[in-house]
Amino acid sequence: MFRLLGKWLSIYEDEIELFLWTAALLFFVRSSGILLNNYAETAFLKRFGVEYLPAVNMINAVATFFIMGFMAAIMGKIPGSRLLFYLFLFCGSSVAGLRFLIPFDIDFIYPVLFMLKSQYEVLLALLFWNLANDLFNTRQSKRLFPLITAGGVLGQIIGSFGTPVLARTITFDNLLLAYMGVTLLGAIVVKRMGVSFPALLLSDKKAKKTKSRTPMLEEFKKIIPLLKESVLVYAVNEQFATEATMIQFFSYFRGVLNIISLIILLFVGRIYGRYNG
């Protein structure tokens, strides 16, 4: 089955295992991010107030500048796979810790979560693409990265449509514990890749090769919207009166958009492989 799928997607036989593990890793990066995003936006708007959004976005942008500078400094000192493993653990445990503060009615939790969901999404994606650029050469990157990205989009689709189901099943606030669970799965995948591909992951300690960084650059572009006000957010806040209806809207809206993205991405790698393979 995997061989037939690989042939259709222009993935060579010796690349299939590494490709699947890498796509699975991005799946957990994206699915965890969408869970936290849906929760944090809904909780912030309904429990803290949409009027504070401009100030929080401005603080978030400044924080991003300093955090990215700090990450750039330590990325050259710690192997990328190890750093990604620890970041998964830190993101999950910190968010779970905030979950247990919610019963104390500390309103400041919600703007903190709103900022963390942006920071964690960018940092995890940054370290993922840094690792992916070590695992694949330039030619492989151009052919496989759109397909690997599709794995992440699939995670966003499942995370999006699964959010309302989880909210009803385990309660709204326990979505933060679900986020921790998904990040732990991501950490396990990183460890498993270290066992399966130790020779490849040794490249973490070597100087970075010059290769395509387009996916990573795309991740940085996602910081820009944090500086702008979204008319959609205000409209949604007025339209949906409860947390349950709002999180359903965010989840289904993003889920549909990601389905469209997935369809496009599945054909990008195939087209490239046909004409450049």
Q: Locate 59 and state its tokens.
A: 């603080």
Residue 104 or residue 3, greater confidence: 104
- Contact call for residues 230 and 37 (beta carbons, < 8 A): no
CB neighbour list of residue 207: distance below 8 Å, 6 or more residues apart: none
Find, among 155, 179, 175, the residue nearest to 164 by Cα.
175
Least confident stretch, 82-86, 150-154, 204-208: 204-208
What is the pLDDT at residue 69?
84
User: Residue 180 corresponds to which tokens in the numbers above?
Assistant: 């921790």
Percentage with pLDDT > 90 across the chain: 48
- How high is the pLDDT of residue 210? 39
Alpha carbon distance, N-terminus to C-terminus of the chain: 21
CB 219 within 8 A of CB 126: yes
How many Cβ atoms are within 10 Å of 215's Cβ, its own excluded? 19
For residue 76, pLDDT over 60 is answered with yes
CA distance 70 to 94: 19
Q: Can you give the pLDDT at residue 4?
A: 62
Average pLDDT of the segment spanning 230-256: 82
Strand stretches in the chain, DSSP E: none
**What's the pLDDT at 209?**
44
Q: At what angle do helices 53-75 and 109-135 cross, to 10 degrees?
A: 30
Q: Chain-wide mean pLDDT for the chain?
A: 83
39-72 pLDDT, tens digit per residue, is 999 999 999 988 898 889 888 888 888 888 888 8
Tokens describing residue 215: 């996916």
